Amino acid sequence: MRILLASFLILTLFLVNPVFAEMGEVGVDIPCSFDEDCQLGETCCDGFCLDNPNRECFLIINAVNCTGQQTCGGGTWGECILDDPDCGSVSPTPPNGGGGSGGGGGGGASRCKEGEIKSCGNQIGACEGAIQTCVDGKWTDCSVEPTDEICNTFDDDCEGVIDNVYGFITIEETSCWCVDAQNEPKQESCNGIDDDCNGIIDDYADCCFVPGETRDCGPDSNQGICEFGISICGDDELWGECVDAFYPEKTDLCFNELDDNCNGLVDDNCEHCQDNIQNSDEEGVDCGGSCLTECTNWLWIIIIVAIIIITLIIVWYWRKKKK
């Protein structure tokens, strides 16, 4: 009884408590545009939901690796605030407070040594390598700031995705070649991008995604003499040549009891005259083309032959009787 009760309590915690319910999603980056797109207690930063709006950051100042903290605000990571404001300074801080601190208080974070250089921003995309320089005891503005995303194969807004114009989350979703007439739509290729800007990714007939996969190919149907062939997806993710396919003839070949044009009818539209020769517009003897001369009317020939035979019999009988 106790075991059943304990199992019931654990199951209830798993279903009700979000900590248990979301354990399967640990490590999964959920895309977002605003904090409202995230779960309660999470922050949208650089396009993804984070459960912690703070993170450790690193700066190299005068060849010294300095650590600090960054806080996400307004959807982007803020400036890296050094744990030790004097990290990387040319002159070390005098020991025991030694009177060199000047005004004391919190002013140390803003003072800098002339000519010092440190990284700034989130160091992502176009912002990678951005620096600040100490001039007249103050840090200059960051050398590179995020800008509006445009179609140029760079991550202009420094949020981790290249050319994600129109607010798309990934490069695969953007019709980048259509933006601001920088490039005309081009032929679709198997690259995970909507090159022809029709809203569909890799809708090129030759694209495939699983090397070794096979598909039917060839004629539109397998009626009559037609048979589907086989095409194999190659290592280059393009469908290979269609092999072993049988295609329809333009017209039915008459009197072979086959559906040569694969329309479901055998020997259809076989209008012909049986002149026992292959005319110039026929694919075979008496095969549906129009005759070069008027067709022989066999009925009249039979009648005429019959009349001649009867006449000869009558003449023969009359002569015999006369003798």
Indicate yes or no: pTM above 0.75. no
pLDDT tens sequence across 210-260:
899 999 999 988 899 999 999 999 988 888 899 999 999 888 877 678 888
Write down the residue that tokens 């333009």 correspond to.
Answer: 250
What is the rounded CA–CA span in Å between residue 3 and residue 119? 58
Beta bridge partners of 73: 76
Residue tagged 């650590």 (tokens): 67
Q: What is the pLDDT of residues 88-138, one digit of tens each?
A: 775 443 444 444 433 333 334 457 889 999 999 999 989 999 999 999 989
One-letter identity of residue 151 = C
pLDDT number for residue 297: 62
Q: SS3 for 97?
A: helix
Q: What is the DSSP string of 189-212?
A: -SSSS-TT-SS-TT--TTB-SSTT
Q: Which of 118, 153, 124 is nearest to 138 (CA)?
A: 118
Contacts of 267 (CB under 8 A, 6+ apart): 252, 254, 255, 256, 257, 258
Asked if residue 118 lies in contact with residue 60, where contact means CB atoms within 8 angstroms, the answer is: yes
> For 251-271, what is the mean pLDDT?
80
Q: How confident is the model at residue 61 (pLDDT cuts 50, 70, 90)?
A: confident
What per-residue confidence (pLDDT) applies to 280?
Answer: 61
What would the mean pLDDT of 45-55 be, rounded to a whole number? 86
Q: Which residues, 6 or more positions from 57, have their beta carbon under 8 angstroms from its beta carbon?
A: 67, 68, 69, 70, 77, 80
| Residues in CB range of 86: below 8 A, 6 or more apart | 92, 93, 108
Look over the chain and give the mean of its residue pLDDT values, rounded to a whole number.
74
**Phi, psi of 133, deg, nearest 5:** -120, 140
Q: pLDDT-derived band of residue 296, with 50, 70 and 90 as boundaries?
A: low
CB burial string 168-178: b at 16+ within 10 A, e below: beebebbbbbb
pLDDT value for 153: 72
pLDDT in tens, 170-188: 555 555 555 444 556 667 7
